[in-house]
Amino acid sequence: MADLKPVRTYLGMPLYRPKTAFFELSSCEGCQLQLLNNEASLLDFLSLLDIVNFREAMTEKSDEFEIAFIEGSVTRSDEVERLKEIRKTANTLVAFGSCACFGGVNQMKNRLGSEWVKKEVYGDHPVESGFARPLEDIVTVDLKIFGCPIKKKEVEKIIINIALGKAVVHPVYPVCMECKANENICLFDLGEPCLGPITRGGCDSWCPNSRFGCWGCRGPADDANIDQLREIMKKHGFSEETLRDRLECFGGFSKYTEAFRKNPEKKKEGK
């Protein structure tokens, strides 16, 4: 797939077309699939990268790359080694999707007791499967692309920025901003819990657009007021457990949920 198109320029500046590899650890590979789903701009998109390794899209592969997109969380010792190897080669290591960023859905099992989980999933044929960890537990991550799954449009924008040498900036505001712009009815008005007020936007309020409350797959917004949402949930009649289930679903709020577990009924008097 290399060198399909000549080097292009923008305002006279040559575009950076990095040798790129896609890898997956413990994951559903759904994020990579999202990229390939984008038929309309797929060729444009692929031409921006010199892809040397993409199991879902090609058979030949190479171990020389500058950018590594890694989907999935780390659950096995061989994955730890593989990740360290990738880090040695990659100039830029990208945590691709919520599993890679936070542990994702996989990390739910971390709280369930590993023996029980193994038995439930694999029955009498157990395989090695430890705690699900985000990439940055093992290696330095240069860029995170949030979402379960990632949003194609957003990834395209990021790749364009990489080609231009522009910094990648994520929205710092919560999902509510986009949800209101989409003129959705607030999930709380519909009697549904929602993490929209504290979760990083950029998804164009994907779930609330279908009247489905946010589960926080992109992790916390830059100034997330989680204590306040906790009170709001309570006021709307949702249990502490309902909130915790959501906060713990993708692992993005782990810092806060640990505090919740230590202090489940924290009194907030004098406010």
Partner 1 sequence: MIFKVIKKEELKHLFDVLAAENRVVGPVEAGRDSNGRPIYAFDQVSDFNNICLDYTTTKISAKRYFLPYQEDLAGFRIDGKDWHKKINYNIESPYIFFGLHACDINALNKLDKVLLGSVYPMPYYAAKRKNMFIIGLDCIPQPYCFCRSMGADTALHGFDMFLTDMGGQYFAEILSDTAFNFLKNIKTAEPAYADRMRYIKIIAEKKRKFTVRVDTTDLANILDMEFQSDVWKQWGEKCLACGTCSQVCPTCYCYGVEETVNINFHEAKKTKMLYSCNLIDFAQVAGGHNFRLKRDARLKYRYYHKHRGFVEAYEESLCVGCGRCGEACLAEITVPAVISSVRGEES
Partner 2 sequence: MNGKLEFIDILREKEKKYNRQHDFNAFEFTYKAEITTIHKLTQMENLYRVRIIDPEQGKQFSFQPGQFVMLELPGIGEAPFSISSSPLRHGDIELCIRKAGNLTNFLSRVERGTRVGLRGPFGTGFPMEKMEGQNILLIAGGLGLAPLRSAIAYVQANRSRFNTVDIIYGTKDPSQLLFAYQYDVWRADDITLSIIVEEPDTAWKGPAGLITKILEDLFRKKDKTFFKNTYAIVCGPPVMFKFVCTMLSQKDIPMQKMFVSLERRMHCGMGKCCRCNVGSTYTCLKGPVFDYWTVMNLKEAI
209 sits near partner 1 (criterion: CB under 8 A): no
**6 touches which of partner 1, partner 2, none (CB within 5 to 8 A by kind)?**
none
Q: Of partner 1, partner 2, none, which one does residue 128 interact with (CB within 5 to 8 Å by kind)?
A: none
Please tell me whether residue 188 binds partner 1 under the rule CB under 8 A.
Answer: yes
Q: Structure tokens of 161? A: 């920025």
Q: Which residue has the tokens 């917004």?
A: 221
* List 100, 141, 150, 221, residue binding partner 1 (CB under 8 A): 221
Cα dihedral 37, 50, 43, 4 sign: negative
The stretch near partner 1 (CB under 8 A) out of 74-82, 131-139, 157-165, 241-249 is 157-165
State yes or no: cis peptide before 149, omega within 30 of 0. yes
CA dihedral 249, 250, 251, 254 (to 10 degrees): -50
Q: Does 186 bind partner 1 (CB under 8 A)?
A: yes
**Contacting residues toward partner 2, per CB under 8 A:** 10-13, 164-167
3-state secondary structure 52-121: EECCCCCCCCCCCCCEEEEECEECCHHHHHHHHHHHHHCCEEEEECHHHHHCHHHHHHHHCCHHHHHHHH
Question: Least CB distance from residue 161 to partner 2, whole Å?
Answer: 8
Listed residue (72, 63, 124) closest to 99, CA to CA: 72
Pairing of strands 19-24, 13-14: unpaired
**Candidate list 56, 85, 222, 258; residue touching partner 1; CB under 8 A:** 222
The residue range among 3-11, 88-96, 111-119, 244-252 that interacts with partner 1, by the rule CB under 8 A, is 3-11
- Using CA atoms, how far residue 176 sits from 172, 189, 234, in Å, is 12, 14, 19
Q: Does 212 bind partner 1 (CB under 8 A)?
A: no
**Residue number, 77 or 182, with CB nearest to partner 1:** 182
Using CB under 8 A, list all residues that contact partner 1: 8-12, 15, 41, 44-45, 48, 156-157, 160, 163-164, 172-174, 176-177, 180-181, 183, 185-186, 188-191, 196-198, 221-225, 228-229, 232, 271
